[in-house]
Amino acid sequence: MFVPTEEMAGADWRAINAATAVLAAVGITLAMAFSRPWGNKLPAWLVALPVWVGTGLLVPMLLLAPVLGPAAMSKDKEAGAPDFWIYEQILVMISLVGAGIGLPLALLGYARARWPEALGGPLDCGEPHGSSRALQAIIAKLLAVGCVLLGVVKIYWAAGGTLGIDPDRLDGRDVWWHLLTLSTGVWALAGAWGLVVLTTCRGSRRFLPPMGAAWISSGMLFAYSVYNLLTLTDMQQPAPEEPIVAATTRELGAVLGVLMGIVILMVLHDRRRAMSVDGPAPAPAPDGPAAVRVDADRAGADPHGTGTPTAGEFGPEAGSTRGSRPHDSSVG
């Protein structure tokens, strides 16, 4: 019933719809968790993991929805689908836009209450004892190189470049492919910026902009790499890239996304410790004469080296005439 074509009535089409229903159920559960008291008792990973993947899928799609919606309708029309199912794409895009706006906003309120260090405050909150900031910066810069390479390749393809594209599949580069490829390239570059800023504490005054860029970028690179695995099945048309090139960019995106997520967790861990009672690491002790004066003051010694004892060094009477009889020069 209400099946547009015989091809879309197959097992693949049913599997896609079943997966869509599962994702919708996950979204509804997350919305309830964000708005109900029991949501604060859930393990952090049980909330963060689906939200990480969900925002990576939905936020980039949200920005492309005004163009992808009409493109999807045109694609269905070319496939010979009935008009009823062509306009079903409008409902799909409305749901994507609603989830793409509502889920991140609900997450902001939930995270602000449960993990305030993940959103607000300045970029640099100090460095706690045992911080791994130096290691984070090294890993982030290596990942940034990979993100820049991936981003440049994707933008090159989106602009019409054919290096690495299968000559027999040039016609497979439709509007969807161009826009999603461009989106992947732009978000890869944004993630490189965000990750480097987070780990070096330079490039932004506030914490939220680089955090948001790195979070969405890492989730997007992972989620869309997994989604592109469908091109290896009959559920979607084959990718226009050469098989080895498509596999390389797909796997690189997934690895970069996961490693970026790990670095983000390391940053949040150190940030939470720095904002806790533990506080940042104390400043190093001064060297040279200043250190000598500080030590002398703490020991109660004369900081000028005159040899005169200070009050309290040998008791309350030391270095003071208070309490003693004054000298009378007239007494012989």
Cβ 60 vs Cβ 220: under 8 Å: yes
The pLDDT tens digits for 141-178 are: 999 999 999 999 999 999 999 999 988 888 878 888 89
Only one residue has tokens 């229903």, namely: 21
CA distance 117 to 124: 11
CA distance 214 to 65: 22
Q: Write out the two tokens for 164.
A: 């690495």
Res 221 pLDDT > 80: yes
Q: Residue type at 231?
A: T
pLDDT averaged over the chain?
Answer: 78
Res 136 pLDDT > 50: yes
The pLDDT tens digits for 290-320 are: 444 444 454 444 445 454 444 444 444 444 4
CA distance 18 to 233: 17
Residue spans of alpha helices (H) in 8-43: 11-35
Cβ 303 vs Cβ 297: under 8 Å: yes
Proportion of the chain above pLDDT 70, given as a percent? 72
CA distances from 244 to 166, 171, 240 (A): 10, 19, 11
Count other Cβ atoms within 10 Å, centred on residue 62.
Answer: 19
DSSP-assigned beta bridge partners for residue 206: 122
Most confident of 83-92, 257-266, 287-296: 257-266
DSSP-assigned beta bridge partners for residue 241: 165
Length of the chain: 332
User: Within a 13 Å sphere around the CA of 325, how many CA atoms are in the beta-carbon half?
Assistant: 3
Pick from 144, 154, 142: which is nearest to 248 by CA?
154
In Å, how far from its chain's centre is CA 60? Answer: 14
CA distances from 28 to 35, 103, 112, 139, 230 (A): 11, 10, 20, 36, 25
Q: pLDDT higher for 76 or 27?
A: 27
pLDDT score at 168: 87
Pick from 208, 220, 319, 217: which is nearest to 267 by CA?
208
